[in-house]
Amino acid sequence: MRNSLKQTEDPFTKLNKPFQESIKRIVDIIGSTIALIIFSPIFVVIALLIICEDGRPVFFKQKRSGLYDNAFSMYKFRSMRVRSTPRSKDKSSSSKYNWTTGVPDNFVFKTASEANPNITKMGHFIRKYSLDELPQFINVLKGEMSLIGPRPEIIEITRCYSTEQKMRLTVKPGITGWAQTNGRSNMNHGEKIRCDLYYVNNFNLWLDLKVILKTAVQVVAGKGSV
């Protein structure tokens, strides 16, 4: 069984900002609650459109690495077909991600132009405008995520992290973050890590506010996908 970093090693310098972290959690609770109420009509519409196009389920759950590499189930609106068409170039996660000295800087998990025949018409739309991410406000309310922070990475990738790369796991993953407002899906892993570590090292509530404002502009513009 895979042990969490919190149990096995602690190579990190804690934020040591208890007041700001407490305020951040309060903001997360209030913000996610308000968001879930405001977006509830959109939840219903998206759910109905997903069901009409490709049936159930409405939500997609995937294990991601959270604070201190503790796994949690991240929620999204389903954007892929239930019965997916096999893709000849697909490989198992174990053969894809087997780096032993850290994830290479030039690695790119996906690109904005990547074509996937299994994405539904509704899926293309909700991905373009990041609407598939809305259910993650549930993760925020539960305390598994924050409104702002590094995007939660898949476990197969974080298990290959170097000690430096693991430092991005010292804060809760977020719905959006500094990396997403400075390149989003168009940046490689090295650039993403540098942005995430900048956030970890410079965390404050004003930086969170700046990320929120920049995210709002990008979502309205439909720029890339988080």
User: Rounded to whole angstroms, how far apart are CA atoms 53 and 121?
Assistant: 8
Residue whose C-alpha is closest to residue 28's, from 191, 172, 213: 172
Report whether pLDDT(226) > 50: no
- Phi/psi for 50 (5° steps) reads -65, -45
The DSSP call for residue 224 is: S
pLDDT number for residue 67: 93
**81 Cβ contact list (under 8 Å, min separation 6):** 54, 118, 119, 120
172-176 mean pLDDT: 94
Cα within 13 Å of Cα(2), Cβ side? 12
40-54 residue pLDDT tens: 999 999 999 999 999
3-state secondary structure string across 141-185: HHCCCEEECCCCEEHHHHCCCCHHHHHHHHCCCEEECCCHHHCHH
Residues making up the chain, counted from first to last: 226
pLDDT at 14: 65
The candidate with the shortest Cα–Cα distance to 36, out of 122, 136, 115, is 136
68-108 tens-digit pLDDT:
999 999 999 999 998 766 654 455 455 578 898 999 999 98
Q: What is the mean pLDDT of the chain?
A: 85
- % of the chain beyond a pLDDT of 90: 65
What residue ranges do the domains of the chain occupy?
A: 16-82+114-221
Residue 200 host element (H or E):
helix 189-201
Which residues fall within 8 angstroms of residue 123, CB to CB, at 6 or more apart?
Answer: 78, 79, 80, 132
* pTM of full prediction above 0.95: no
